[in-house]
Amino acid sequence: MPSEGRRGAFIVIEGLDRSGKSTQAAALVSRLEETGVSAKLMKFPDRTTPIGRMIDAYLRSESDIDDHAIHLLFSANRWELASNIERTLASGTSIVCDRYAFSGVAFSASKGLPFEWCRSPDVSLPAPDLTLFLDISPEKAKERGGYGEERYEKEEMQRRVREIFAAIATEANEKESWKWTTVDAGMDLESVSKSIWREVESLLSADHGPIQRLWT
C-alpha cells in the first residue's frame, strides 16, 4: 500500500545486449518487494501487443521494415503503455523497466538516423526518476556467451550504440533534467546488484515530486 499516497518510482535499466539488464531488473523487483516496496517489472519492446508483435517479427528478421518506420513503432510501443505507467506509479507501485526511450535513440541513431529526429517521437513520455546504464565493453559482452541471432546483436552495431549511449549520458548529466547513473556491468552479478541497490535506496529515501516528461 502506498504510504501517504506517495507515488511509485520509475526506474529504467539501460545497456547493451549481454550487460545483464534483464537479470538485474528482475532481481531489483524482487529486492524492492522484499523491502516492502510494491514493484512491477516492465520491458521494452513489449512484444505482446499488436505493435510489439510487428517489432518482434522485425527483430527476428521475419520482416523488413524501413528504419524510420520501425523507429516509430518502437516509440508507439512505449506510448501505448504510457498511461499504464502513469496509473501504476500513481497507485503507489514502482516500476523497473528493462530498456526505454534511450535504447530507442541509441539503436536507431547508430543506423545513421539523425539524433534529434530519433528523439522527437518520445518527447513528453513519462520520464524515469532514475536511469541505470549498465556499461560493458563489447569485448566483455561477447565473452559472456556471444550474441544471439537477433538483428542488432552484432559487435559493430553494439560498439556504435555504446558511443551514442555515452553521448546521451553526458547530455543527461549536463542538463540534470533526470538522474542518469552509469554502473560498471563488467563486475560480477553480486557487485552490480549492490551498486544498483545503493542508487535505488537513495532514490527511495528522496521525495519524487510529480512525474517529469521526457526531453521537455
152 touching ligand FDM, by CB under 6 A: yes
Report which of 143, 156, 173, 41 is spatially closest to residue 107, judged by C-alpha positions: 156
Cell of residue 210, nine digits: 510529480
Compare residues 36 and 112 and give the one whose CB is closer to ligand FDM. 112
Compare residues 5 and 148 and give the one whose CB is closer to ligand FDM. 148
List of long-range contacts for 154-160, beta carbons under 8 Å, 24+ apart: 157/107, 157/110, 158/16, 158/17, 160/110
Peptide bond before residue 121 is cis, with ω within 30 degrees of 0: no
Which regions of 31-165 does DSSP assign to beta strands (E)?
Answer: 39-43, 94-98, 130-135
Binding site partner of 99, from Mg ion, ligand FDM, none, Cβ cut-off 5-8 A by kind = ligand FDM
58 touching ligand FDM, by CB under 6 A: no
Helix, strand and coil percent figures for the chain, each rounded to 5: 50, 15, 35
Site string for Mg ion, 61-90 (x = CB under 5 A): ------------------------------
107 touching ligand FDM, by CB under 6 A: yes
74 touching ligand FDM, by CB under 6 A: yes
44 touching ligand FDM, by CB under 6 A: yes
CB of 35 to ligand FDM, least distance (A): 26
103 touching ligand FDM, by CB under 6 A: yes
Compare residues 9 and 141 and give the one whose CB is closer to Mg ion. 141
CA dihedral 45, 50, 53, 57 (to 10 degrees): -120
List all residues 6 or more positions away from 64 whose beta carbon is below 8 Å from its beta carbon.
58
45 touching ligand FDM, by CB under 6 A: yes
| From 37, 59, 166, 211, residue interacting with ligand FDM (rule: CB under 6 A) | 59
* Residues at the contact surface with ligand FDM, assessed by CB under 6 A: 17, 44-45, 59, 74, 99, 103-104, 107, 152
